[in-house]
Amino acid sequence: MSKSKLQAIVQKKCPQCREGDLFTNSALSLKFNQINYRCTKCNANLEPETGFYYGAMYVSYGINTALMFVMLVITAVLIKPEDTITYIIMAVIPMIVLLPFTFRLSRSIYLHLFGGIDYKGKA
């Protein structure tokens, strides 16, 4: 059974075959940002053009803005701090901790939506 597009995005798989990994290492590795330039399963080009992934910064910005908003609401409702520094800490720390995950997710979303690579099934 083939993966849906959403599953492939979340699992960071190739948009063409939805089986090959986009990244060479684990998100918990210090080399979390290294991407396969060709799919290991179907040999699809995972970097459609030079500098393609610069656009993923906008996706990452959206993800981090949503994360910050959620953290600020949670902080306001549960903790109700009186000082501004608590809000800043509660918004920034999760963004730093989740950086490898949001980085990889934003690249996966961007490649799947704007990479121009169509799903072709199994290679």
Mean of all residue pLDDT scores within the chain = 92
Segments making up each domain of the chain, as ranges: 5-114
Per-residue pLDDT, averaged over 87-101, amounts to 94
Number of H helices, E strands in the chain: 4, 0
pLDDT confidence bin for 1, thresholds 50/70/90? low
Percent of the chain scored above 70 by pLDDT?
98
| pLDDT at residue 74 is higher than 50 | yes
Q: Tell me the backbone φ, ψ of residue 21, rounded to 5 degrees.
A: -80, 140
Alpha-carbon dihedral sign for residues 10, 15, 18, 23: negative
Render pLDDT for 16-58 as a digit per residue (tens, 0 to 9). Answer: 999 999 999 988 889 999 999 999 999 999 998 989 999 999 9
- In this prediction, residue 123 carries a pLDDT of 47
Compute the distance between CA of residue 8 and CA of residue 112 in angstroms, rounded to an integer.
9
Tokens of 6: 């959403």
Per-residue pLDDT, averaged over 102-118, amounts to 94
